[in-house]
Amino acid sequence: MAAIAGKASGKRKPEAAAKATVAKRGKGKAAAEAAGAEPPAAASSSKAPPHIDAVTAVDLKGYSYGNAPKTSAAGALDLVFCLDATASMGSTIAACQKDIIELTTQLRDRDGLDVRFALIPYRDHSPGEEYCTKVYPFTRDQKQMQKNVNAQSAGGGGDMPEAVTASLFEALCIEWRPEAAKQVVIMADAGPHGLGEGHSFPDGDPDGKDPLSIAKEMMSLGIIVYSVVTTSSPSQKTSWFFSCLSAMTGGKCMQAANSSVLKDLIIAGATDAVTNESGVRQVTSALDALRKKKGKVLTKSEEAKETKRVLDGISKTSEVPKGKDVFIAPPADRLEQARRAKDIRELCRFWDGKGSAAAGKAVPAPVADTAARISEMREARSSRPTDKVVIECVKEGSKIRARVVSAGYDESKNVQFPKAIREAGKRFVVDLVVNAGSFYRVKGNMTEEK
């Protein structure tokens, strides 16, 4: 095989890797084409309402990525803040600006963790918005993170829904460390487009991204989402959406109408994320060891017994701020509908009382127990294909498209793929593709199959 592109980890300096990541994301169709990547199918559709570029590039000149710890850390945590920066979020942004140094210090010092922070502020897609999303890459430098947060201000936003899906997709595609606990904290007071609230973008994200597909991808990659709803009176669908999003990824949804408790909620979530990641690794290692010892595939009963033995030794939960209704749990039927729906539009129909799953079905209430979440996370991760993914270039009319031909993927979906190396009949092997909803995006190494 001939190498086409190298992976950022271990082959490029962090700054170069982050710049490459931002460049690959681009700024909508024009920048995607300039970077050689095919824009999402919906972005080029004449049916898509007018909208601004999905990502506005951040100036990374002089950006500080910080230094790795000189001594061995007790663990690693990658934490991404997705921050609604529309006009109603002024008090939340101010609280983040005030507490970010204390927050990052506590997370770093509390358990001796090697912590990196990233920031993805977002507003909306409508023409006239200053930006849709921005991506400030991972940094260990507290002063850089303070600078990133200080650069934010509240503004824009029209109808109630915001570019929630776009921010989650950028969080999915950021350069996570394989060995780190991976946590997204999304702070918002409104849900995504596509749930029948507001008048703009009624079909959801105009670039074809789908939040349910993104949530399932996050779960299978070990990315936990903690949702912080920053209003005391969210709409019913906003509460349902964020509580389902967190439940589907192994996280929790919390209400912080009082910004003074925001820091404590984030720390509690980060502690849970590290515990969950450690638990998944411990259970996986123990099952592998037992399988090797027995020299055979374990029965379901043997797996369950060994899993229980390991999880019994893991702390069950972190301390959370005291107060009324801190956590928002999704109704069991709404969570089941979110898991069954193929996309946000179908989920909207279910929640509006339409469609075959509208009435829901009897399911157990969601369990917040750490052991249950660790087991669910491990099962989701183990069900993901471990082989590298094969992509084939095919000619369709005057265009050459890239499609996934490996088993278990939808061959009808386009792949965001560099145009410069496309040639009908050529195949490429990539480390990973992530499902955005209507298209796939490539991550990691890419080599031509000879």
Tens-level pLDDT at each residue, the chain (450 residues): 334 433 333 333 444 444 333 333 333 333 333 334 544 444 334 467 899 999 999 999 999 999 998 887 778 999 999 999 999 999 999 989 998 888 888 888 776 789 999 999 999 999 999 999 999 999 999 999 999 999 999 998 877 899 999 999 999 999 999 889 999 999 999 999 999 998 889 999 999 999 999 999 999 899 999 999 998 889 999 999 999 999 999 888 988 866 667 778 788 888 888 888 888 889 989 999 999 998 988 898 998 899 888 888 775 555 555 555 578 889 999 999 999 999 999 999 999 987 665 554 444 444 556 777 778 888 877 777 767 899 999 999 999 999 999 988 898 999 988 888 999 999 999 988 999 999 999 888 889 987
Distances in whole angstroms, Cα of residue 345 to Cα of each of 159, 196, 443: 18, 9, 27
Q: Tell me the C-alpha distance between 362 and 372, whole Å.
A: 19
Residues 109, 111, 116, 121: is their CA dihedral positive or negative? negative
Q: What is the dihedral of CA 230, 82, 145, 68, to 10 degrees?
A: 130
Statement: the pTM of the whole predicted model exceeds 0.75: yes
Q: 40-384 adopts what CATH topology?
A: Rossmann fold (3.40.50)
Residue of 219, 275, 221 lying closest to 248 (CA atoms): 219
Q: Which residue blocks in 210-261 are alpha helix, DSSP H?
A: 211-220, 236-249
Contact criterion met (CB below 8 Å) for 203 and 161: no
Strands 399-404 and 389-396 come out as antiparallel
**Domain limits, the chain:** 1-23+386-450, 40-384
CA distance 440 to 137: 22
How far apart CA 231 and CA 356 sit, in angstroms, is 32
Unique residue bearing structure tokens 């069950």: 316
